Structure 1
Amino acid sequence: MHPSTVVVRSRRKGMLVNRFPALCSEPNGKVVANRFGRAQAWEMWTLECIGDKVALRSHHGKYLTAKKDGSVVATQSKARSWEKWTMENAPGSDGYIITFKSCHGKYLCADDGHFLNVGVGNVVRADRDARGEWEQWTLSTPDDVPLVRTDIISAVGAAGCAGALGTAGALALTPAVAGALGFTAQGITAGSAAAGMMSAAALAEGGGVAAGSTVATLQAVGATGAGALAGTALAGTICAAAIPVASTVGLVVWGGVVATRSFLDNPLKKKPPPGKWLLGTEEGVNNVLFYEFQDEPAAVRAFDDVKTARVLFNRKHEEVRSGGWNGESVKTIRNVAKGH
């Protein structure tokens, strides 16, 4: 696995599917975002940093291209201007939810699926001026460990400059990102970016890797292993119990259960001070509860998994998004959050 391999998922859900489709490049260069479930080879991309831009190279070795007419393909073998994208945080996001802006100033969009999201992502275009839900994406490792924009850029930059990241930057990387580079509990993976960084560092340092260096620090982070991620947001913390929906009857039962009980821990009756991500829910008439999260991925996962009326707030307690079938409940949550 290439160390900078990522999965790019749209924030548009499929019909009755609590999953988000992955961006996919077919062998003929057609690009879609309609593949659900665990990412396969065609849904994996190599993220490259080119100055302040990024490029996405498909499994077939072709770059994601935005044409002037807004169409998107993956047919070019070199990253020129049309293959370079500006990766931005989505409104209110810390960088877990992102957008891609083409050199033509338009945003990448997972289109189609206009009726009940049937056929979502059958068309991918870069022709939108706004950054709404259809233009929002997330990055993750091939194992679906969520990545924040600044972390993955640091990781790819570290690979590209063969160890010139600096110890302070390395310490900011999560074990998941260090592992993606090839720094693992079993050692440095042969053929990975980590191996290249180690070789470059050894040459620069006269045959060895100095204690406290970038490579040594990254290996220390990576050596914590996957076990250190257990129960954390980066391990894909799911704050709601999954109830299968296999039929219309199952959907009705499922909706009734989630409408009357909470799957989240440590509910708060009063909105806490800003500083952490916050999810507000109404669980019963006028029974508004708040849940705090250390980071955006955990908060977003909870928002996605809980099906009651809910409102997601960022660290500044600005509303990021709302959900649920009961609009009046959403209004109630907002009023309580405002102290009304």
Structure 2
Amino acid sequence: MKRRSLNLLAASVLLAASGTALAQDKSTLKILVGFPPGGSVDVVARLIADHMRSTLDQNVIVDNKPGAAGRVALGEVKRAAPDGNTLVLAPSGALVILPWATKNLGYDPMKDFTPVARVTTFDFAVTAGPAAPAGDLKGVLAWMKANPGKANYATSGAGTVPHFAGLLLGQVSSVPMTHVPYKGGAPAAQDLIGGQIPLMVDTPSETLEHHKAGKVRILAVTGENRSAALPDVPTVRESGVDFVADAFFGLYGPANMPAARTQKLSDAVGKALASPEVQARIKALALTPAFAGPQALATTQATHLKRWEAPVKASGYSLDQ
């Protein structure tokens, strides 16, 4: 009996050790984020990662690789093995704006990645600070036209969609505006609040709480429709300026990922975005949960890439300068 008990104990130890080894050998899925922790891209990546763990029965981590407006993370994914275990959650600017702004991008946006899923769509907020006069968007733009030395607008960085959305807004309204890039939305918003700059164009999440607190005024949003987070704020079109600009977050892997693995990952994202909790958290960031599969993401990306070609080239902006 004693020997039998010892044999059973030994077998249990071997099984436990074997299970531990299998768990350690199980591959980890990394979702890279090309920006520091705490921003909207990072928050959304962590939300979907939490849900994908259980759906895929796989360890899923978020790895921040900030730098070069998201290009560092995209470059790392381009070079990764196409096994579906290294992905990147990227804002559309790095895939549809930057290709027209540099000859040394380091990747081909349409050939070097496998589209997995569109995760969110979002508009931009045109926000006035205390340095701008009271009034609606048309009134502030008229003031800027009459005061060209003060016609400046802030964004969270050069080469971003907000950068060119601001330029387009100025072109459409016949108000030449000077772009003032910041290293992130927080410092831009602080200078807006402090009166150092009159206007800011960026994601609504950057100024939403300041707007609610009465420190700044979100004059309009740039989408086709009003933002669910700002139902009382008109669109730019409703404000009398014929202008629309939007963007998206997309999940991508390296080129040549197996179709079955790509679809499995896409389905896991779709399941995560179907969660009411995830939807609520994303909407709180003034983003719109907007799941779409691999082919739909590829089509959306191609459309946006074509849309921004002329404005970026016409601006003369170049990362190579």
Q: TM-score, normalised by structure 2?
A: 0.27
Who wins on radius of gyration, i.e. which is larger? Answer: 2
Name the one with the larger helix percent: 2
Q: TM-score, normalised by structure 1?
A: 0.26
